[in-house]
Chain A
Amino acid sequence: MRLSYPTNVRIVKLPCSGRVDIIHIMKALENGADGVYVAGCLEGDCHYQVGNLRAKKRVAYVKEILDKIGVGSDRVAMYNLSAGQGPRFAEIAREFTEIIRKLGPSPLRTAKKKAA
């Protein structure tokens, strides 16, 4: 559809959002991502039955950890949309980018500068 969305969004394609595990989200943040969102099918429409529900739980699990280690749960989110919703995809990308922009860079990147 050639819709534009922010260039800072790095996409990792998977057959199902249920393939996303807790460690993947954490490693992404560890390796420098300022935010991570998981985009899965609409609830009830998962091609593989309940993959998107598993993803939802895992995102919630990571959020809890992030609050406790000083990174903040806002940097991770779960979104649901169908494969046909091109404009919504772009909208989500813009929305989440905006959220992260307001939060600023990840504390994992700024802390060393603070300490220095």
Chain B
Amino acid sequence: MIIAKMKPIEEIIDEVKDHKKVLVAGCDGCVTVCEAGGLKEAQILASALRMYFRQAGQDAVVDEISMTRQCDHPYVDAVADTVANYDAVVSMACGAGIQFLAETYRGKPILPGVNTCFIGVTEAKGEWAERCQACGDCLLASTGGICPIARCSKRMSNGPCGGSASGKCEVSKETDCGWHLIYERLKELGQLDRFEKPMDPKDWAKSRDGGPRKIVKEVSQI
């Protein structure tokens, strides 16, 4: 899922400090699972903002809601009446949701309450790690189910690099060397022949490098 992290509160305050009526909009989707922007986090942020305004001697209203999702029209449209009552909205959804709100409520400043970071998994309670870079051309079959684009700091197709040591990446001892993981997995699967076969240059046009992407499934269109 999409993993995000609440923005430093000073940044959020800097954007809302001149508004009088602020709505904090959480999202029940990914940001709830990664504990960055669900109802709980929206309540905490709203409370913090109310206290900020009060100690600054400012008369401001800060309320919180949480939406099922912010990336689908029906849910975004449903809050129209609510949004109309506020000067600004701090959206705690991922970047996609924040933008979708902004596209719908064009006259209202829609401000990001989180930094959207990566596509990842919950490794343990309170710990989320990157797994996918949305490259648009999945090669997991060749690498034992471990992605070198997301898990190698240099997104090498033919790793590891010379800096890989004891299974860790040269960038940080806390980061596993993606290619070390791939090697070990290919060994487990009895597919080490794949390791020695050079992979040709990747087609980055299918990823972000090719420009903003869109998928149309005609059979699903009305």
A: which residues have CB within 8 A of B?
21-23, 26-27, 29-30, 65, 68-71, 107-108, 111-112, 114-115
Contact = CB atoms under 8 A, between A and B. Distances in A.
B48 A69 contact: yes
21 contacts: A23-B40, A23-B43, A23-B47, A26-B44, A26-B47, A27-B47, A30-B50, A30-B51, A65-B48, A68-B10, A68-B13, A69-B9, A69-B49, A107-B55, A108-B54, A108-B55, A111-B55, A112-B54, A112-B57, A114-B57, A115-B58
B215 interface: no
Interface of B: 8-10, 13, 40, 43-44, 47-52, 54-58
Q: Provide the main secondary structure of the chain B interface.
A: helix
A111 B43 contact: no
B57 A69 contact: no
B52 A70 contact: yes
B44 A111 contact: no
Nearest to A110: B55
Nearest to A21: B40
A4 B215 CA distance: 70
A69 B13 contact: yes
A71 B55 contact: yes
B47 A70 contact: no
A110 B176 CA distance: 52
Contacts of B40: 21, 23
B55 A70 contact: yes
Contact of A108 (B8, B10, B43, B51): B51
Contact of A111 (B8, B10, B48, B56): B56
Nearest to B43: A23
A82 B121 CA distance: 39
B45 to A, nearest CB: 9
A114 B44 CA distance: 26
Contacts of A69: 9, 13, 48-49, 51-52, 55
Nearest to A68: B9
Contacts of B47: 23, 26-27, 30
Given A69-B13, A111-B54, 9 more contacts: A23-B43, A26-B47, A27-B47, A68-B13, A68-B48, A70-B51, A71-B55, A107-B54, A112-B57
